[in-house]
Amino acid sequence: MVAPIGKALGAAVAAPVSWLASAVNPPLKAWQRATGTDGMAAFFLAPNMAIFAVFVLTPFVINFFYSATSGNAFFLGDRTFVGTEQYERLFDCASYLDPSTCREDLFWKAVQNTGLFVVLQVALMTVVSIVTALILNREIAARSFWRAVFFFPVLLSPVVVGLIWRWILQRQGLLNYMLYSVGLEPHDWLIERGSAFTAAVTVSVWAHMGFYTLILLAGLQAIPRDLYEAAEMDGTRPARVFWRITLPLLMPSLLVVVILTLIRAVQIFDEVYVLTGGGPGTSTLYLTQYIYEVGFASLLRNPGLAAAASILMGAVLVVLTLIQLQLGRRGEKKGARE
């Protein structure tokens, strides 16, 4: 009974598809004859490029013009052209290492915080992801379950992540309750500068490590088993196996992880914004939040200045992306040679 229904359904679906294919075939063939293979590629890429142009390129260009204007007006025509004034204001510093000497001290504070966050978060994320991937790659009990557990936070909205950890870390939160229950002193985790910064890094690692662990797990599984068997027969110690076999062969995946983590760390915003609001003071104020605050949220709103800051941040991201592409190409060439 099932087979005839399946066949009937298949025929019902196939008929319009077949009709559509025969209908579009002649014009496509004509287009290919006229423009060649490159023309066909351009034809199929056009919709994607159009979306990119409307939603990425155009806002980028508009943003660039915004950064050369001043005022609160929304439409460019209503704004005052100020040239490079916003950039000059951002770079007006006695010492770039001391944000308090800068006219836009909050921008440089955000740059400093972001730099420190990137260094700590990328290092921690990489180490934790490698360790987790190594463990999950072993024959442990309920391996699939543990893989799902570590990947689960990736599925959560950053706002949910921020709220969950806020409930845990706030003054009357779960962590302090637990400390109090066992007779320990509660701590203001989100009010003290050091612990708030640590919390921001840790929560960010917790939220995203599942994704990077997955990449490294795929890299680990691509390493030929016979290399490990040969090492085992030679009686090689596990640490030496890791340094001499696992790590070198994992390097392409590791580079991807490092660069992707780096890019995402520079863009950090949502979960930290919900968790700490940039506080205490400006201890966890990162670049994206600075841009958001100055552009939209602050009572001292200045869209032009926010646009200039976002252009500078965009430039950093472009450099990082180019490095990623370059490393990717190098990996491909190396793979092809081998």
Partner 1 sequence: MRKTGTVLAAMAASLLATSALAGEVRVMWYSDGVEGEVIQDLLNRFMKDNPDIKVTLDNVAYKVIQEQLPIQLESGQGPDIARVTNLKELAQHWLDLRPHLADAKYWEDNFGAQADWMRPDGSDAITGFMTQLTLTGGFANKTLFEQAGVALPGDKATWDDWVKASAEVMKSQQTAAAFGIDRSGHRISGPNVSYGANYIGADGKPAKVDDGTKAFATRLVDWTAQGLMLKETWVSAAGSTYRAAADDFINAQIPFYYSGSWQVANLSTKIGDSFDWVATGSPCGTAGCSGLKGGAALVAIKYTKNPTDVAKVMEYLASEAVVKEFSERTLFLPAHKAVVEKGGLSWVTKDKNVGPALDAFVKSSGETLPASDALPAWKWASAYYGALVTRISQVMAGEMSLDDAWAKIDQDIADKVAQAK
Contact set with partner 1 (CB under 8 A): 70-75, 80, 100, 103, 105-106, 170-172, 188, 190-191, 193, 276-285, 289, 293, 296-302, 304
Which token pair is 302? 């200045």
The answer to whether the beta carbons of residues 205 and 125 sit under 8 Å apart is: yes
109 vs 147, beta carbon nearer partner 1: 109
DSSP string computed for 43-105: HHHHHHHHHHIIIIIHHHHHHHHHTTEESS-SSGGGSEE-TTHHHHHHT-BS-TT-GGGBTTH
Instruction: For residue 221, give every residue at least 6 positions away whose Cβ sits within 8 Å of its Cβ, in sequence order, or none.
Output: 137
176 vs 253, beta carbon nearer partner 1: 176
86 vs 213, beta carbon nearer partner 1: 86
Report, in Å, the least distance between residue 92 CB and partner 1.
Answer: 11
Report, in Å, the least distance between residue 328 CB and partner 1.
Answer: 36
Which token pair is 25? 């075939």
Report, in Å, the least distance between residue 106 CB and partner 1.
Answer: 8
147 vs 166, beta carbon nearer partner 1: 166
Closest CA to 295 of 316, 282, 280, 310: 310
111 vs 258, beta carbon nearer partner 1: 111
Backbone φ, ψ for residue 23 (5° rounding): -75, -40
Q: How far apart are CA 302 and CA 304, in angstroms?
A: 6
